[in-house]
Chain A
């Protein structure tokens, strides 16, 4: 049996101020699958992803990548750190943290440069990524002058330029307009087709439904409330209600949980 790509065993993490981030969560991510971590605000999605990315380390439990325990010590080792960082990419929820260079171009080049590629290869990669995501026009702009959605795309470009086998995406669709959300869903599909592993944290049920092979639902107690195929979990109204992902007025049609803002201002009907 092949060892899972990433594996968290009963991890618990508390922030320095004592608040719980995640409690006794066990997750394993197999090569090539698309896992979605669903949860309401503050349920611990970001915390769990950062643990899997080796950016923070659990107080209890262990996280393994390619069967090696992730710890501050193991990531001190230059070789392991390098392979790990190249194979596992992370999209930050807060894109401002990811975009710290003078121009969009430099930001995308930052990752490939750390891989010790030749300058020409780095340039080629950056330019290909720019045109893939349709960002060529803003390549020389400073990232802090972009709109929220553009920043998201640039951050995603910065991640793709490293070409990691596994992508940990924290709220990739927040702040995107409907067309860009669609675009993201299609991009996720293409990445999957290329054999990439995706772990996506979101509270968007529609996105989860479209890209997930498997879903993990986090409860508001920062524990895993359920795990399973999207067909089952995303139709389980009681489960989704109990973790506050949907409200009383959500309902199921076309075999899926359907959520829309419930208001009496505009009526709509369901065929």
Chain B
């Protein structure tokens, strides 16, 4: 027998007040959006009409782009880094990758890195040199508690140059990495990165990617299930407490899920070695691409050493 309260109808209620979607809900929504973007990246990586970068052999692409990133770390001048950036942007344009897809993932990180990580290096305390902008200058020593303030704080030209260099280098590096992932299917990338030495690492990456979707789905489902059972929207602090408890549950669920995903892979014959449908191929395009990369990298290095060294920066 069902208890009698099951039969009691809920009293009719007046129309609910509109509440703006809570922080929690927005966050979950964004998380799901992120998953969509990952899927979207898979779509860009496999367009109906593949461009130059899409058709290149994955191993060649991985190695050449790693090579370019290494070359970038040897460049000491912003303009020569731009040579590399222009090269990859041109290759992306030829491959019909929408610029939006290329930049919208990370453009915001560049000013962030500049301000948080690079700008402090522009201070005379870190990089002494010709002062460009004086923040303060003290005529007598000032102490803040135990702290002795430096008599002078300025932004130096040399410091600013090195901050710009660090930021540009990062920008170029990320640009390369994004181009690589946007034009290479995840399976192919893992297969390209696979060798005896990298095997455990590649295995972890495979697993992480495989169950990311399911995990996100679980979080969303949990929240939906809770909302379906909740009559009044919770206060933000109650929502936060709920999330806190869910995180614990999620950890244990995700562990079970990894185990299950892994046994499902085993059951279908997975033996720790990634396989992808696209076969490796080395043809004229690959050779031309490698030559182009080598030429651009040498050009940038040469320009960096010979020409730009004479410029004031």
A100 and B211 form a contact (CB under 8 A): yes
- Which residues of the partner chain A approach B210 to less than 8 Å between Cβ atoms? 100-101
> Which single member of B42, B261, B268 contacts A85 (CB below 8 Å)?
B268
Chain A, residue nearest B187 (CB): A106
Interface of A is mostly: helix
Chain B, residue nearest A155 (CB): B264
A115 and B260 form a contact (CB under 8 A): no
Chain A, residue nearest B275 (CB): A113
Complex: how many Å from CA A116 to CA B275? Answer: 9
Among the stretches A22-30, A88-96, A205-213, the one at the interface with B is: A88-96
A113 and B213 form a contact (CB under 8 A): no
> Which single member of B214, B257, B269, B271 contacts A162 (CB below 8 Å)?
B269
Number of interface residues of B (CB under 8 A): 27
B271 and A89 form a contact (CB under 8 A): no
Chain A, residue nearest B262 (CB): A97
A55 and B277 form a contact (CB under 8 A): no
B269 and A86 form a contact (CB under 8 A): yes
> Which single member of B39, B261, B264, B278 contacts A142 (CB below 8 Å)?
B39
Interface of B is mostly: helix
Q: B197 within 8 Å of A by Cβ?
A: no
Q: A188 within 8 Å of B by Cβ?
A: no
> Which single member of A82, A90, A142 contacts B267 (CB below 8 Å)?
A90
A102 and B277 form a contact (CB under 8 A): no
Q: A106-B187, A114-B270 are known contacts. Are A100 and B275 too (CB-CB below 8 A)?
A: no
- Which residues of the partner chain A approach B277 to less than 8 Å between Cβ atoms? 106, 109, 113, 119, 122-123
Q: A86-B269, A90-B267 are known contacts. Are A97 and B261 too (CB-CB below 8 A)?
A: yes
A119 and B279 form a contact (CB under 8 A): yes
- Which residues of the partner chain B approach A119 to less than 8 Å between Cβ atoms? 277-279
Q: A71 within 8 Å of B by Cβ?
A: no
- Which residues of the partner chain A approach B263 to less than 8 Å between Cβ atoms? 50, 55-56, 97
Chain A, residue nearest B38 (CB): A102
Q: A136 within 8 Å of B by Cβ?
A: no
- Which residues of the partner chain B approach A101 to less than 8 Å between Cβ atoms? 187, 210
B257-313 with Cβ < 8 A to chain A:
257, 260-261, 263-271, 275-279
A103 and B265 form a contact (CB under 8 A): no
Complex: how many Å from CA A213 to CA B190? Answer: 45
Q: A81 within 8 Å of B by Cβ?
A: yes
* Chain A nearest CB, measured from B35 CB (Å): 8
Complex: how many Å from CA A113 to CA B274? Answer: 9
Q: B217 within 8 Å of A by Cβ?
A: yes
Complex: how many Å from CA A148 to CA B73? Answer: 49
Q: B186 within 8 Å of A by Cβ?
A: yes
Q: A110-B268, A113-B276, A144-B213 are known contacts. Are A100 and B42 too (CB-CB below 8 A)?
A: no
Q: A158 within 8 Å of B by Cβ?
A: yes
- Which residues of the partner chain A approach B42 to less than 8 Å between Cβ atoms? 102-103, 142
- Which residues of the partner chain A approach B257 to less than 8 Å between Cβ atoms? 96-97
- Which residues of the partner chain A approach B279 to less than 8 Å between Cβ atoms? 119
A162 and B261 form a contact (CB under 8 A): no
A92 and B269 form a contact (CB under 8 A): no
Chain B, residue nearest A81 (CB): B271
- Which residues of the partner chain B approach A159 to less than 8 Å between Cβ atoms? 268
**14 sample A-B contacts, Cβ–Cβ < 8 Å, listed by A number:** A53-B267, A56-B263, A85-B268, A86-B269, A89-B268, A90-B267, A92-B264, A92-B267, A94-B260, A96-B217, A100-B265, A101-B187, A110-B270, A158-B268
Q: Interface on B for A, CB 8 Å cutoff?
A: 39, 42, 185-187, 210-211, 213-214, 217, 257, 260-261, 263-271, 275-279
Q: Interface on A for B, CB 8 Å cutoff?
A: 50, 53, 55-56, 78, 81-82, 85-86, 89-90, 92, 94, 96-98, 100-103, 106, 109-111, 113-116, 119, 122-123, 142, 144, 158-159, 162
| Additional 10 contacts, C-beta under 8 A, given A97-B214, A116-B275, A158-B268 | A82-B269, A90-B267, A96-B257, A97-B263, A102-B187, A106-B187, A110-B265, A110-B270, A114-B268, A114-B275
CB-CB nearest 4 A-B residue pairs = A114-B269, A97-B260, A100-B210, A85-B269
